[in-house]
Amino acid sequence: MALLPILSYPDPRLRTIAAPVKEVNDEIKTLIADMIETMYDAEGIGLAATQVDRHIQLIVMDLSENKDTPMVFINPKVTPLVDEKQPYEEGCLSVPEVYDKVERPNKVRIEALDEHGQTIDKEVEGLLAVCIQHEMDHLNGVIFVDYLSKLKQTRARDKVKKVLKVREKQGERQATRETQPVNA
């Protein structure tokens, strides 16, 4: 198992359109395991393959309290079941520390394959409905900040830049501490 680097907004690779998965083989299964591990490590509830620079139609999610119920969606098709849209506060592992309201249909049908290649066909609502639409957007090169004003997009860009800089510094300090001899 391995942690995969997550692309950050506004990386142009996040605009790539994902291709369908042809076969759920061992390579895909390894990627699924690595994406789940990466999502848990980053304390996320959803991750699309696009975000780890793999441009195939694959999403992992875990909305459970104890982070013990991962869900896998391959080649998903999402159909809104209501006309009305509801606002929901969204975030994204590719847009760290930026959160804002996005309006989406609150009830959708999900058709997909799971990690065993078995068909999923279910109607969902609430957070699961919102999250699958957010992740589906990634497979189509769309990021939640695209729905916000130009001003908020500029602020998001600046915020991400700042967060990445701070994280870089913290990473360096951590590396330095770890290489200090114990009896120095």
Q: Which residues have a catalytic role annotated?
A: 135
C-alpha 102/C-alpha 130 separation (Å) is 9
The nearest distance, CB 121 to ligand QAP, in angstroms, is 22
Q: How far is CA 86 from CA 61, 64, 126, in A?
A: 21, 22, 10
Residues in the chain: 184
* Contacts to Co ion by CB under 5 A: 92
E strand or H helix that includes residue 87: strand 85-90
Bridge partners (DSSP) listed for residue 107: 125
Q: Quick check: 147 and 102 in contact, CB under 8 A?
A: yes
Q: Quick check: 142 and 118 in contact, CB under 8 A?
A: no
Q: Quick check: 168 and 160 in contact, CB under 8 A?
A: no
Taking the least distance from each CB to ligand QAP, the nearer of 24 and 94 is: 94
The nearest distance, CB 167 to Co ion, in angstroms, is 17
The nearest distance, CB 47 to Co ion, in angstroms, is 7
Backbone angles phi, psi at 119, to 5 degrees: -70, 135
Should residue 91 be labelled a site residue for ligand QAP when binding is judged by CB under 6 A?
yes
Q: Which does 91 bind (CB under 5 to 8 A by kind): Co ion, ligand QAP, none?
A: ligand QAP
Of the candidate spans 16-24, 38-46, 62-70, 73-81, the one that interacts with ligand QAP by CB under 6 A turns out to be 38-46
Should residue 35 be labelled a site residue for ligand QAP when binding is judged by CB under 6 A?
no
- How many residues touch ligand QAP under the rule CB under 6 A: the total is 15
Find the binding residues for ligand QAP in span 109-168 (CB under 6 A).
130-131, 134
Bridge partners (DSSP) listed for residue 59: 48, 73
Residue selected from 4, 16, 35, 90 as contacting ligand QAP according to rule CB under 6 A:
90
Taking the least distance from each CB to ligand QAP, the nearer of 10 and 91 is: 91
- Residues near ligand QAP (CB under 6 A) are 42-46, 88, 90-93, 96-97, 130-131, 134
